[in-house]
């Protein structure tokens, strides 16, 4: 048994310790927002935060995550509420998610779960990033670029800037 902290909840996991996190999240824990894209850490569709740092769930064994807080897109609203001391509200999205709606960012949307994780990581460290900062975060800061086949990069930049504003304002509706 491995104990994982996923979206603020301690979960007991039966899978062997060398199992990549992605298969445990989706198969055993029913946490479905990280998507299978390549299994090679080449695309970013499976990204999650581990202690606030973006990692690729498709290649990271759960043994490497014991004692770390794993956050997926499902857990972003609670993460934000905790950071800001807000009372839980099922209607409230994380500012990055809200910005993705406001700016109508996704086309098909499969990459956006990883994009939102990456932009959350960026904004937690750099609350007012430039275009160049956002592009660098999405391209060179991780194991591989975060790829969007629909090429919604212009919308993603708009979304990241909007999220920065929402976070500075202290919350999303």
According to CB under 8 A, which one of 11, 59, 143, 153 is a site residue for another protein? 153
Q: 30 — alpha (psi -120 to 50), left (phi > 0) or beta? A: left
Looking up tokens 């202290």, which residue turns up? 170
CA distances (Å), 144 to each of 45, 87, 124, 155, 157, in order? Answer: 11, 36, 20, 20, 18
At residue 66, φ and ψ (nearest 5 deg) are: -65, 135
Among 111, 117, 122, 172, binds another protein (CB under 8 A): 111
**Direct distance between the N- and C-terminal alpha carbons of the chain, in angstroms, rounded to an integer:** 39
Q: Does 138 bind another protein (CB under 8 A)?
A: yes
- Within 27-86, the residues that bind another protein by CB under 8 A are 27, 32-33, 35-40, 42-43, 45, 72-74, 77
For position 9 contacting another protein by CB under 8 A, the verdict is no
Which residues contact another protein (rule: CB under 8 A)? 15, 19-20, 23, 26-27, 32-33, 35-40, 42-43, 45, 72-74, 77, 93, 97, 100-101, 104-113, 116, 134-136, 138-140, 144-157
């Amino acid at each position: 048994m491995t104990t994982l902290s996923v979206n603020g909840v301690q979960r007991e996991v039966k899978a062997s310790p060398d199992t990549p996190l992605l298969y445990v999240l989706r198969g055993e824990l029913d946490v479905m927002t990280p998507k299978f894209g390549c299994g090679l850490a080449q695309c970013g569709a499976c990204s999650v935060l581990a202690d606030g740092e973006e990692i690729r769930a498709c290649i990271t064994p759960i043994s490497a995550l014991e004692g770390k807080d794993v956050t997926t897109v499902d857990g972003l609203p609670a993460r934000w509420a905790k950071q800001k001391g807000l009372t839980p509200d099922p209607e409230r999205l994380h500012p990055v998610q809200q910005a993705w709606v406001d700016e109508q960012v996704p086309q098909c949307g499969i990459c956006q779960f990883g994009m939102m994780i990456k932009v959350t990581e960026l904004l937690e460290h750099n609350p007012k990033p430039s275009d160049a900062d956002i592009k660098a975060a999405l391209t060179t800061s991780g194991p591989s670029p975060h790829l969007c086949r629909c090429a919604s990069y212009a919308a993603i930049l708009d979304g990241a800037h909007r999220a920065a504003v929402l976070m500075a304002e202290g919350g999303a509706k």
